[in-house]
Structure 1
Amino acid sequence: MSDVSVKAALPPARLSVNAALPSQRVSSNVQWWREADVSVKLSMFWIMGCVIVAIVAQQIAPYDPAAIDLNARLQPPILLGGAWTHALGTDDLGRDVLSRLLYSVQITVAVAVAGTIISTSLGTLLGFLAAELGSAVDECITAFVDMQAAMPFMIVALLLIAVFGNSILLFVFVLGLYGWERHARVVRGAALTTRNHLYVIAARTYNASRIRIYRKHVLPSCLPTIVAGMTIGLTQIVLLEGTLSFLGLGIQPPMSSLGNMVGFGRGYLMTAWWIAVLPGLVIAATALALMLLSDFLRDRNWSANDRIKQ
């Protein structure tokens, strides 16, 4: 009789657990927002704003960013007594700074996101291969990672651009080669730890394929670490794009990016500082927002791992 009562009690218990899952997810999301500092929340709003601007830049830009008007050259922003027709002033060729800034955010975000995706994908794949195959493959990948980490990347980027020429596709590829060794090292360590978990061992016991194990178990477990690494990599690629474009080795005219806007305006810092300072402030604010967000994700990931261990 007791067995029957226990069996009868099982379905309601199972239903109660499943019914509690959505509320647990909602409370987890609310807790995630409450744990975030004011600076982190402002950083998320800034990043979302940059993404929205990158999507709708053509619709909200008041002028063609390449339109030249020599009669309106070097007009100051509205705060310095300029006209509302050019709220952020004009550059040395009479081009509207606001329009060029909006298009530059679009180009910089697109190039940085593409380079980050390439870098993260390459590092994640090599990290998984090193963790799964081990032995000679692991030693070769680790040696390659150490060699890449020891090599000054700026020299590699200058060499590739000098040999193969400058194009947007090559520039994105060069940015994609930056930081992949960091992703590979972190993902390898996380995959080696995840492979020893009981659910992965159980999946191997039931003869699950390697691809299925990594797709269903290892990758979801490593995903928070990968996302935190992506935010750090995105910050560094934004700064790298700005550096190379400032030196004239990145985005080339008639396209405009934040880096080459700073490069073109550096000769007018004493007379028309807004040409270089405004895009420079956008670069600094974006890098700071990404760093604050990456620190928050990293700390939250560590606290989650500590709760799992307990």
Structure 2
Amino acid sequence: MKEISRTKSALILAFLVIIWGINWPLSKLALIYTPPLLFAGIRTFLGGLILLIFALPKWKELRFKENWHLYTISAVLNIIMFYGLQTIGLGYMPAGLFSAIVFIEPVLLGIFSWIWLGESMYGLKIAGLALGFAGVAVISSGGFTGSLSVTGILLALGSALGWGLGTVFVKKTGGRVNSIWMVTMQLLIGGLILMGTGTGIERWSEIQWNTAFISDLLFISIFVIAFGWLAFFTLVGSGEASKVGSYTFLIPLIAIIVSSLLLHESITINLVAGLIFILLSICLVNMPVKNRKRGKPNDAEPVQQIQ
């Protein structure tokens, strides 16, 4: 992947955080009109079809016979586990609590990147990752009321695990597959499997194809799914996966702010406290650390190519 400038990287990151933050309240609204698995399958498959337009000019780099297993593994982790378990799990517990558990993913990503990508793990990064999750927990603490659903917790953890493993897998195999084909195929394969599963246990007749649902579906499919995943893996490919993951701690913050506007949810002192934790987290994870032996920045510096 070509090197991208700091300015371009910052713009892509800002787009990603905002658009994925908006996704949570929009998805909550969409689920009023549709069963969860069918919705997860439709939006991811449509996102794949949109990206297919951009991928087709590079059809020679698809190499499906050679890479089909890589596309399938990525689809299972990033689409089926992340989106499938996520949409089902939202029915078992409050969205705030569920999202707090899902966004343990950056912590998992930092650990997985250390184990499988050889990225550095040092005191400041560990503290930053822990502080970021603490910020998300503080922001979402209003959801910690009533009895907790063990099923919901397991589904949230499964969703986070799939996303973390999927991100590392995509970066680890980046040198073997074209990045846009990887994103496109994981969306198409994952979307088809989710729709097939949904067809078996849900009813298409339960979907209310009104203007509100169609508008919501198209926005999520185009911006959240298609361009969102492309932006995410563009950033992961041009820098440390764990650093990119640290910024995803801002997504629940955006989600809560937008939810307060669209769903009339209140903004509390927890939101302000959580924001402080999140900002400190980002500073710690991205703070350069000198190598004591060589006197050079360690490999916390951005990697410019997918390894």
* Length-normalised TM-score, structure 1: 0.28
More helix by share: 1
Name which structure has the greater RCO, CA cutoff 8 Å, separation 6+.
Answer: 2
Question: Which is greater in Rg?
Answer: 1
